[in-house]
Amino acid sequence: MTCIPHTGSGSGAGRAGAISRRVEPGAPGPCVSAPGIRGGASPSSKEQGMQRNVSAARGLALAVLICLGWGCDSAPAVSSRPRLPSHAGSLSRAAAGGGGELARAEQALVATPPSTAHQWSTTGSLSVGRTGVAMARLPDGRVLASGGCTGSSCMASAELYDPATGTWTSTGNMLRMRAGHHLVALQDGRVLALGGVWWPLGQWGNGVTDTEVYNPATGTWSFAGTMSHERELFTVTPLANGRVLVVGGEENYSPDAAVEEFDPTAPSESAWTQVSSLPVGRAYHSATRLPDGSVLVVGGTDGEGVIYDDAYRYHPATRTWTPAPGLYQARYGHTAVALSNGRVMLFGGWVWGWTEWGEETQIPADSVDVFDPVAGTWGYGAPLALRSEGFAVPLPGGQVLVAGGHRNYDYAVASHAEAWSWTMGPRSAGTSMQRSGAAAVPLADGRVLVAGGYRNGAISACELFTPASSFGPAVRDWVYREHPLRRSRAESAAVVLPSGKVLVSGGYSDEDYLAAAELYDPATGTWELTGSMATRRARHSLRLLPNGKVLALGGVNGQVLSSAELYDPVAGTWSAVPTPVVGRTDATVTVLPSGQLLVTGGRTLAGLTVNTVERVEPLTGTRTVLGSLQKVRHGHQAVLLPSGKVAVWGGWKPDYYPEDQAELYDPVTGTSSAAGTVPVRGSDGVVLRSGAVLLTGGTSSSGTVVAPALWNPVTGTLSPAGTLASPRTSHRALLLPDDRVLVVGGYSATAYAILAEGTELYDPATNTWSAAGRLGTRRSIFAAVTLASGQPLVIGGASAARVLDSAELLPLGAWRTVQPLTTARYSHTATRLDSGKVLVAGGIRDASSALATAEEYDPVADTWSLTPAMPVARYSHTAVALDGERVMVTGGLASTDVALASSLIYDATAGTWAGTRAMAVPRLLHTATRLPDGKVLVVGGHDGNNVFASAELYDPATDFWTSAGMLANARFGHTATLLANGKVLVVGGQDVDPVLGYPVPMATAELYDPATHSWSAAGSMASARAFHAVAALSTGPVLVAGGHDGTGYTATAERYDPVTNSWSVTGAMGTPRDGHALHLLSTGKVLALGGFDGAALTRVTELYDPATGTWAVSGAMSTPRYNQATTALATGDILVAGGYLSPSALNTTVELYRP
């Protein structure tokens, strides 16, 4: 669980213990044109491919470190993430004894803010270059490196790295030369060395059987016993009982099933014991210790063409094996890493797949599988870039560093690094030195030491990787669902029905071509099967007819299909119809406004390319010849223009040379005219409102990827259409309701076989492109549609050799950016004045000091103007609108980390601030609510020493504060809501637990009655929560959602009924959040925006429907934010200004949401 503390704390009156918010950490492309399968059939191409890869792996860098050391060993302790400044202020009790002193826990962060970018730096070099070196961290934090090869021979020498000085010193030599071996840190502080080879470079054997241990106290090595037999390519896993487990490998080039344990407490002659063998021998597998102490062994190969997808668990207590759930796809040579949440991440290696020519072969895998030992299931994670002989190291905060090695497909040495997480997938982790076969180990301070390896010779240079602040500008863009489809499918077809649902049919899965179809309901976000087609088909098309039915046309299923079927959405069934395309293939089919189909060009069954045009009645098959195109072509593209004419371009001539002449066909006259030269193939053409066709990439006649262009079919001219940040081909382009165009997926123009993960938006008003976020999974040959809501939906497809069952939604919606703040700020307030303008006051700019500045926003002019500053800077304060043009500000935290009791009133008419009488006690993380009689109720909060149960009442008419009684529970981080009956509902928050000594969220709620100045119980929520958000519904109940429940960030929501004084659970949000906001809209629905979901800031916004009790995605802000200020404008729009983005990223952005 990630720890994102709100900056604010204190202790209850008379209580000792720290008050700080406590959160426990916790198109057929070059890769795929048909499904991959598990190996094990005929030996021919499979065996040859396997032998090639195994042989190459042995010779590339001497040591084939399949486990990469860190997948085999248990993960080191993972520290919590750095504390984050927030609206709650910067208070926590000093660790040493009571006293009420304000600690500077956050001040340290202010003084030395964590880096928001991953950093690579050089450190001291090894005394000699080493490839096949092994490393292990000692209990005192130093790192032992031993063995490896340099030049033409291997070594027995060893060195020690001191992180404090960044230098290496020599230590005792091993008893023999070793390379490609393992070093395992034992629980007694010693280090076990085992395996590897010792012959001169290039002379291979079966590895060594003798083992040895290193004693850091003496700097010497001693004999540690002999394994039962020679083997290599085995895995090594430290067990919880202190022993070391060795599994499988190869013996004399045959798969080995033997398993043995090393006991470091036993004499060397009896230290090694054989235990129960694996049910099936294997090499190039992985072995990872699970939280319960068992060891998960996954995949591997027999070296002769069989790749395993099975898995087993070894139980050290009984020394027995039990089957575990198998992989989705067999693989070998992969890496496994234990994650901090107990799951196991498995990535890379080799799988069986297909070339674009239909030949079955081994291909590199970019896919990531994640095993959940609690559920006993595998899930898909976002894929990584292709690489071999790199390294993987767990990072603080649940991430995994993947770097080094070389690309599987061309063996170019990689310098790019990635930081992968279960929730966010891969993110760039900077650029490292180019090396393969390096060793890497996490240091005690969270950095990673990388040493040795090979590139044009053995490397002595070393590097340090410093992770970025784990709470940085990570942003959740696309809403990714792990397994929403009922069938995995690639090269399927999809169409939006008049009901708003999406029909997806056909394609192929990992097993075969599909006839199955399913429906996606955007209202519920769910998929359900519907009637299947009569014919299995992929690469077909779906055409929505004016009568609401859908025509499925053509495709392939091992042969080219010309048949058609008709889907009835009412009945959910398919029926046969006459084929619209008779006697030809590679033609285009366009639905005309009349519902008739226009068929152009193509090839006859005899292979003759034609230019004839036919109009077809889809239900009867009646055909009418309507002239011809000017050019004979097949494999071309055609789109219907707003004028009713059809633009045709691209394709191939009869001699298979590219056809660059475009034309404009008129279905009314049956004639075609030249429309200029369009030298582009494989580009999705999108018709804009202007009638121009946006060509979004594709390839030229020479095969190079071309830049986007605007084609005017009337004038026949081409003009530039901006520049894509990532030019691509075999992608999809979707027209959005606002005339913008989204480009998704496909293959990168700069790296063969690399799928593009970024998406980009084209704005025809400015003729420019902008980033639209990263897909959760790189994919190609997927289906994509634009929903009725305007949100793009990407469905299925393939990634490397895997057919996907995932779908992703980009929540574009009703958000628009307006003029920015003059000063970046978060933990500020925004209050609407009677004039309709908005006052923004205070806050904190960059985690350094509080702000006194204030500014006003004019929604009519879309301008910001500075107003006089407050007399005292403050953040984490409250602000409420009084009568007229006045705003009252209370409490908060000053730049000096002092909680404030002072209050101010801003008069917008006079443009002045005036002080009022002070509250009885300083407060922050309190609430302030204006009552119907104009008085202001202030409740709870803390001052850094005490959490308050007291409440105060301010009368603007007399400038006096009076007591408003005592709550039953002291609390801060709560909410207060004015009910229709005039009472005030106070919900949740947290107080210091007298036993635990730190703040714990609470579930209780209380009611304040202004008529009697008394408090009463208002029941309890089902879930305790603090730092949640609240909104009063138009029907009377109060909605509470999100926050932190003491164990994690929650998406749950509940409703309070003032009539019955009771709580009921309602639908949960799709995204957990705190530091967010809820707003009642003019539609009666509630908008949830901003916040942190436990892994990243979120841009995604959601709408709650009180009638159904459900949430639905409703767009996304352009900028993620946390502890922002929001208010409803007089127009009903919701204004969101500023907010936290990262320790060094200043956020001045402002956005408006229109319901």
Kindly tell me if the per-residue pLDDT of 713 is higher than 80.
yes
749 — pLDDT class (breaks 50, 70, 90): low
* CA–CA distances in Å: residue 654 to residues 374, 380, 584, 1143: 60, 44, 14, 61
Tell me which of 677, 701, 723 is where a domain ends.
Answer: 677
Higher-pLDDT residue of 476 and 272 is: 272
Model pLDDT for residues 199-226, shown as the tens digit of each residue: 544 444 446 899 999 999 999 999 999 9
- Asked whether residue 402 is assigned to any structural domain, the reply reads yes
Report whether 50 contacts 41 (CB < 8 A). Answer: no
- Give me the pLDDT at residue 511, please: 74
- Give me the pLDDT at residue 1019, please: 96
Q: How far apart are CA 798 and CA 245, in angstroms?
A: 37
Q: Is there a single domain that holds both residue 704 and residue 657?
A: no
Kindly tell me if the per-residue pLDDT of 104 is higher than 50.
no
Q: How far apart are CA 540 and CA 560, in angstroms?
A: 10
1083 — pLDDT class (breaks 50, 70, 90): confident
* 605 Cβ contact list (under 8 Å, min separation 6): 583, 584, 585
Phi, psi of 1066 (to 5 degrees): -125, -175
Residue with tokens 């700069």: 750
* CA–CA distances in Å: residue 1132 to residues 255, 840, 1034, 1089, 1116: 69, 18, 14, 16, 18
- Give me the pLDDT at residue 165, please: 95
Residue 33 CA, distance from chain mean position: 27
3 — pLDDT class (breaks 50, 70, 90): very low
* Lowest-pLDDT choice from 95-109, 784-798, 887-901, 1052-1066: 95-109
Report whether 842 contacts 826 (CB < 8 A). Answer: no
Q: Is there a single domain that holds both residue 130 and residue 185?
A: yes
Q: In what order do the strands lie in the sheet with 1125-1128?
A: 815-818, 1150-1153, 1134-1137, 1125-1128
Query: Which amino acid, one-letter code, is at 178?
Result: R
* 763 Cβ contact list (under 8 Å, min separation 6): 740, 769, 770
Model pLDDT for residues 860-874, shown as the tens digit of each residue: 888 999 999 999 999
Kindly tell me if the per-residue pLDDT of 785 is higher than 60.
yes
Model pLDDT for residues 812-823, shown as the tens digit of each residue: 656 878 889 999
- Asked whether residue 516 is assigned to any structural domain, the reply reads yes
Q: Using H for helix, E for strand and C for coil, what is the string for 11-31?
A: CCCCCCCCCCCCCCCCCCCCC
19 — pLDDT class (breaks 50, 70, 90): very low
* 1043 Cβ contact list (under 8 Å, min separation 6): 988, 1001, 1025, 1026, 1027, 1028, 1029, 1049, 1050, 1074
- Give me the pLDDT at residue 61, please: 27
Residue with tokens 């001219």: 717
Helices and strands of the chain, counted as H and E runs: 2, 98
- Give me the pLDDT at residue 410, please: 59
Q: How far apart are CA 1122 and CA 1141, in angstroms?
A: 7
- Give me the pLDDT at residue 1058, please: 97
Kindly tell me if the per-residue pLDDT of 1086 is higher than 70.
yes
Q: How far apart are CA 972 and CA 8, in angstroms?
A: 9
Q: Is there a single domain that holds both residue 126 and residue 136?
A: yes
Kindly tell me if the per-residue pLDDT of 87 is higher than 80.
no
Model pLDDT for residues 622-675, shown as the tens digit of each residue: 999 999 999 999 999 999 999 999 999 999 999 989 999 999 999 999 999 999
Q: Is there a single domain that holds both residue 418 and residue 294?
A: yes
Q: Which of 708, 698, 626 is nearest to 668 (CA)?
A: 626
* CA–CA distances in Å: residue 48 to residues 42, 45, 408: 11, 5, 17
Report whether 801 contacts 509 (CB < 8 A). Answer: no
According to DSSP, the β-strands at 158-162 and 143-146 are: antiparallel
1117: its two tokens? 């802000």
Q: Is there a single domain that holds both residue 671 and residue 728?
A: no
- Give me the pLDDT at residue 716, please: 96
Q: How far apart are CA 174 and CA 981, in angstroms?
A: 81
Kindly tell me if the per-residue pLDDT of 463 is higher than 50.
yes
Q: Is there a single domain that holds both residue 629 and residue 683?
A: no
Tell me which of 577, 595, 613 is where a domain ends.
Answer: 577
847 — pLDDT class (breaks 50, 70, 90): low
- Give me the pLDDT at residue 778, please: 77
Number of structural domains the chain divides into: 5
Residue 198 CA, distance from chain mean position: 44
- Asked whether residue 1 is assigned to any structural domain, the reply reads no
SS3 call for 1135: strand
- Asked whether residue 294 is assigned to any structural domain, the reply reads yes
Q: What is the CATH number of the domain that holds 927?
A: 2.120.10.80
- Give me the pLDDT at residue 408, please: 57
Higher-pLDDT residue of 362 and 550 is: 550
Q: What percent of the chain has pLDDT over 70?
A: 85
* CA–CA distances in Å: residue 234 to residues 146, 314, 431: 19, 15, 31
* 580 Cβ contact list (under 8 Å, min separation 6): 551, 553, 564, 589, 597, 599, 616, 618, 621
Model pLDDT for residues 391-435, shown as the tens digit of each residue: 899 887 678 999 988 765 556 777 888 888 766 667 778 888 989
Kindly tell me if the per-residue pLDDT of 40 is higher than 60.
no
Q: Domain of 1098? A: 816-1153
Phi, psi of 272 (to 5 degrees): -105, 130
pTM, full prediction: 0.56
- Asked whether residue 800 is assigned to any structural domain, the reply reads no
Model pLDDT for residues 1034-1046, shown as the tens digit of each residue: 999 999 999 999 9
SS3 call for 111: helix
Q: How far apart are CA 42 and CA 1001, in angstroms?
A: 62
Q: Is there a single domain that holds both residue 355 and residue 316?
A: yes
Model pLDDT for residues 292-343, shown as the tens digit of each residue: 999 999 999 998 889 999 999 999 999 999 999 999 889 999 999 998 878 9
Residue 379 CA, distance from chain mean position: 14
**In the predicted model, what is the mean pLDDT of the chain?**
83
Q: Which long-range contacts (CB under 8 A, 24 or more apart) does 897-903 make?
A: 897/89, 897/90, 897/91, 897/102, 897/104, 897/107, 897/944, 898/102, 898/922, 899/10, 899/89, 899/91, 899/923, 899/924, 899/942, 899/943, 899/944, 900/872, 900/874, 900/924, 902/872, 903/954
Report whether 829 contacts 1125 (CB < 8 A). Answer: yes
Kindly tell me if the per-residue pLDDT of 6 is higher than 50.
no
84 — pLDDT class (breaks 50, 70, 90): very low
Q: How far apart are CA 309 and CA 50, in angstroms?
A: 16
- Give me the pLDDT at residue 424, please: 61
Q: Is there a single domain that holds both residue 364 and residue 493?
A: no
Q: Is there a single domain that holds both residue 701 and residue 737?
A: yes
Q: Using H for helix, E for strand and C for coil, what is the string for 39-50?
A: CCCCCHHHHHHH
Q: How far apart are CA 1076 and CA 1086, in angstroms?
A: 13
- Asked whether residue 14 is assigned to any structural domain, the reply reads no
- Asked whether residue 16 is assigned to any structural domain, the reply reads no
Tell me which of 628, 650, 677 is where a domain ends.
Answer: 677
Q: Is there a single domain that holds both residue 326 and residue 211?
A: yes
DSSP letters for 973-985: S-EEEE-TTS-EE
Q: Which of 815, 737, 726, 814 is nearest to 775 (CA)?
A: 726
Q: How far apart are CA 364 and CA 382, in angstroms?
A: 16
Phi, psi of 988 (to 5 degrees): 65, -145
By residue count, the chain amounts to 1155
Q: Is there a single domain that holds both residue 939 and residue 1032?
A: yes
Q: Is there a single domain that holds both residue 905 and residue 970?
A: yes
Burial class, 152, CB count within 10 angstroms (exposed 0-12 / middle 13-18 / buried 19+): exposed
Q: Which long-range contacts (CB under 8 A, 24 or more apart) does 1029-1032 make?
A: 1029/975, 1029/1073, 1029/1076, 1029/1077, 1029/1078, 1029/1088, 1030/975, 1030/977, 1030/987, 1030/1078, 1031/977, 1031/1078, 1031/1079, 1031/1080, 1031/1086, 1032/977, 1032/978, 1032/979, 1032/980, 1032/1080
Model pLDDT for residues 477-531, shown as the tens digit of each residue: 576 654 578 898 999 999 999 999 999 999 998 778 999 999 999 888 889 999 9
- Asked whether residue 1103 is assigned to any structural domain, the reply reads yes
